[in-house]
Every structure is written in C-alpha cells, then in structure tokens.
Amino acid sequence: MQTAATDTEEELATRQVILQAAYEEIHVRGFQAASLSKILANTNVTKGALYHYFPTKLALGYAVVDEILAEQIQQQWVQPLLQTDDPVTGLIQIIKQAGQELTEEDIYCGCPLNNLAQEMAPVDEGFRSRVEFVYEAWRTGTETAFKNGQDKGFVKKEINATSVATMIVASLEGCMGLAKNARSKKMLYQCGESVMDYLQSLRT
C-alpha cells in the first residue's frame, strides 16, 4: 500500500497531493494565513509526510510558485500566444477562452500569481523573486509575440513592445482583481472588452 525507498515512482504522488492542497488553500486564504493543519486536514496526509517532502512552510509556498503557478501562466498565456502570427487576434482569442473557462469561484479567488505578488512581495524576498520570474516570462513572452507581430506587419511599428507587454499584463491582472472584489463575472467581461479594444488600437 505504501511506496518506500527511492521516490520518483508514481511521480511522488503524496508530494503532489500536498502541493495541490497547499495551492488551493493559499489561493483562498493567502500564504501567511494558510494553515498547515488545515491543508493537511483537506487531505489524508499527515504532518510527518509534509515535513518529509518540504523542510518548512516557506519551502512549500515556493514550490507552489515554481511548480504550479509558473506552469499555469506558461500554458494559459505564453505558449498559445507565441504560436500565433497575429498577436492581437491571438491574444483576443486567448482572453475570450480564459473568460469562458473561469468559474465564478475562480473569479472570487482571483489570479493566484497576483494574490501572492501583492501579499508577499513586501514580506519575503524569496517569494517576490520567484513570482517575479514568472511575471518576467509572461511579459517577455508577450513582448516577443508583439515584436514578431510588428515584423510581420500586423502591429504598428511605432509602439514600444516592451511597454505594451507590461501594460497588457497589468490590465489583465487589474481586470481580474476588480472583478474579484466585485464578485462579478459581468465586470470581468466588461473590463475585458476594453482591454480588447485597446489591443485593436495596436493594429496597423
């Protein structure tokens, strides 16, 4: 029933269970207010297992950023955008799809990356730098897509792709943040429309 000696068998199933439960608890309560006891209570894993895989609570939080959030952003925002030729059309499609896939509960809890950024940036440098690494990938991925779009004649040459990429990430996070506090999918869509209008203004 148990796996012992030499991990990596079923991709460390127990570790993944802990990581996922931590991700969910942190998503709702934030990192500092997330209780290890409550995380474990949501699984059938004990504290011994937790501290076998993670030396501290902080290390568990870091792993959530490195192994879950980085992947999420990459798969949802960066990779699909880099596969399109016209970044405006591509990003609008990604935004629409994201809007459809988000449940009301997702909206109520907001973007987990932004949550951790706003909570932990002033409190812990390890968190901040790891979150920044993910944001950096998001921004530079977007920047690359828009530079390619400029080269292929889809996007105005006079815009600064770096600034625009930052603005895009900022406005998306801002929209999600406002919709989260308003608890309103309608506001998310309304704000999303304005973001898409902005994107259209970047066309040649």
Partner DNA sequence: TGTTATACATACCAATCGGTATGTATGTCA
Partner DNA sequence: TGACATACATACCGATTGGTATGTATAACA
Interaction site with DNA (CB under 7 A): 1-7, 12, 14-15, 34-38, 44-49, 51-52, 55-58
135: left (phi over 0), alpha (psi -120 to 50) or beta: alpha
Binding-residue pattern over the window 146 to 175 for a second copy, x denoting contact by CB under 8 A = --------------x-xxx-xx-xxxxxxx
Q: How far apart are CA 26 and CA 47, in angstroms?
A: 17
Q: Smallest distance, Å, CB 35 to DNA?
A: 3
* 82 contact, one of a second copy, DNA, none, CB 5-8 Å limit per kind: none
* 130 contact, one of a second copy, DNA, none, CB 5-8 Å limit per kind: none
Give yes or no for residue 137 binding a second copy (CB under 8 A): no
* Residue closer to a second copy, measured from CB, 31 or 54: 31
CB burial class (10 A; 0-12, 13-18, 19+) of residue 10? exposed
| Tokens at 184, concatenated | 């309103």
Alpha helical stretches, state H, the chain: 13-29, 36-41, 47-53, 57-63, 70-73, 79-82, 87-101, 104-109, 112-120, 125-151, 161-182, 185-200
Q: How far apart are CA 77 and CA 56, in angstroms?
A: 31
Residue type, 4: A
Q: How far apart are CA 141 and CA 74, in angstroms?
A: 9
Give yes or no for residue 36 binding a second copy (CB under 8 A): no
Which DSSP letter does residue 203 get? Answer: B
Q: Smallest distance, Å, CB 94 to a second copy?
A: 17
Q: Smallest distance, Å, CB 89 to a second copy?
A: 19
Q: Smallest distance, Å, CB 2 to a second copy?
A: 36
* 98 contact, one of DNA, a second copy, none, CB 5-8 Å limit per kind: none
* 177 contact, one of a second copy, DNA, none, CB 5-8 Å limit per kind: a second copy
Q: How far apart are CA 24 and CA 5, in angstroms?
A: 29
* 4 contact, one of a second copy, DNA, none, CB 5-8 Å limit per kind: DNA
The answer to whether 67 and 19 have CB atoms below 8 angstroms apart is yes
Residues near a second copy, by CB under 8 A: 28-30, 32-33, 108-110, 114-115, 117-119, 121-123, 128, 131-132, 135, 160, 162-164, 166-167, 169-175, 177-178, 180-183, 187, 190-191, 193-195, 198, 201
